[in-house]
Amino acid sequence: MVSAQLGWRRVRQWPGRYVKLLPDSLKAWIGEAVMPIRSALRSIIRFRGVMLFPTWVIILGTACGDDEEATRWIVKSETLASGTVHVVNTPPAQGVRPTWRLEEELRIGSVDAMGPTSFGEIKGLAVTEDGRISVLDSQAQELRVFGPTGEYLLTYGGKGGGPGEMEGAYGPMLSPDGLLWVPDSRNARMSKYDPGRGFTISHRLNILSRAYIWRGVMSADGHVLKPSIVLNDERSRVLRVWDSEMTLFDSLPMPAFPTEDPKNPRNSFYWEAPGGMPSGYIGVPYFPQSQEAIDPRGVIWSTSHGDPSYRIVRWVPGGDTTLVIETRREPVPVTAAERDSVIAQIRDQLRERSAAQQDWSKIPGVKPAVTSMFVADDGRLWVRVASSGEAREYDVYERDGRYVGTAVTPLQVWRYLSPIVRGDWFWAVVIDDFGVSYVVRARIRTAMGPS
């Protein structure tokens, strides 16, 4: 067992060379993340040579009366010997009650009408401080700006390679000075637009890996953070950091992609047509893929590939895990009807390809506890969880891992594009039953208080 002094020295020096290279906002966040560990280490109680790390318990709830105990959340936190903080959030015996409801107040989009409110494929959403809403339509390669009440204002971009034009744009990101930064993979550049005046400048940017959705974020001091692959090693990853002129500032190590058997991966059905060509993959429904959310303050929240449990870790690229959150919600089973439905759909696809049937035991018996997550403007972590009903549920956590409440909504929020939460407002892309995309602004209203 190390002493308190040695324990703090490890934390203070970690992650060493990486901290020196980070922008100021990221250094500040690392300091903020480490301070609770430092306090915990200094407050270690020594009793006859045994080190006892402090543990605290918080009981959340507003109910009173005979059923008070059954309506409380219990939040327990302890600092492990490694310095990692472990927080366990236990819901009440009577189940999780909504703290907030997301009530739609504005919808932009149209099924029949032509023009700027008719979206082909939305690949990005940004909201300025004054409430203007910018939507990136990938099909048209246009950035469309709408007013706070939904009125159409301006369109920028359009297909092409000239100044301000786009070819493979997605994003956008809002910078600290109010500009919209739009990454364009095919034109190999980052273009900047003023929401009220249009295109300003572009900077060269080679995007090595292009995902369906832009996974980069803008830090508080104007740096761009984005996970990327390592050349000549498709499994290795780094977090690339660029400055305001898209000069590569740093590359910080990230966990590698998991290794799977190419002909029998856990997360996919591999198929071959007669003769072996063509071949391909069909994703296994309900398989727990790894989920990640990058905090602009410089840390990353993630779940583990293949693990359906409600366990989220927070870590610093190039450093160690600083926080583990476990929430003990009841697992949501995959019903027999859901299982039969997805098997029927996959069988149809295999039949079209003249491919053999598959091992249906790969389909899990429970749904992944975490289906997506994102960081709100105030730094809180919003976690979309599996549910058995029609409503979408988000559990909300403070940056130290404490459960705050649960937001529910009937909106069919598109989970691949992170919503935006600022103050009492929630902006997101939603999909209707016909597959039509809209942009919705919802008010975050109190439901019944913390459950």
What does the pLDDT look like over 115-164, one tens digit per residue? 999 999 999 999 999 999 999 999 999 999 999 999 999 999 999 999 99
CA distance 192 to 189: 10
| pLDDT (mean) for 72-87 | 96
Instruction: Lay out the sheet containing 392-397: strands in order across.
Output: 370-375, 381-385, 392-397, 403-409, 100-108, 437-446, 425-431, 420-422
Kindly report, residue by residue over 158-200, the tens digit of the pLDDT: 999 999 999 999 989 999 999 999 999 999 999 999 999 999 9
Q: What is the pLDDT at residue 71?
A: 66
The mean-pLDDT minimum among 188-192, 193-197, 245-249, 272-276 falls in 272-276
First to last CA, the chain: 40
3: tokens are: 């002493």
| pLDDT for 449 | 46
pLDDT given at position 277: 79
CB within 8 Å of 373: residues ≥ 6 apart: 291, 293, 301, 312, 381, 382, 383, 384
Side-chain half-sphere CA neighbours of 328 within 13 A: 11
Q: What is the pTM of this model?
A: 0.85
What angle in degrees, to the nearest 10, is found between the helix axes of 24-42 and 4-13?
A: 170
pLDDT attached to residue 51: 38
- Asked whether 180 and 172 are in contact (CB, 8 A), the reply is yes
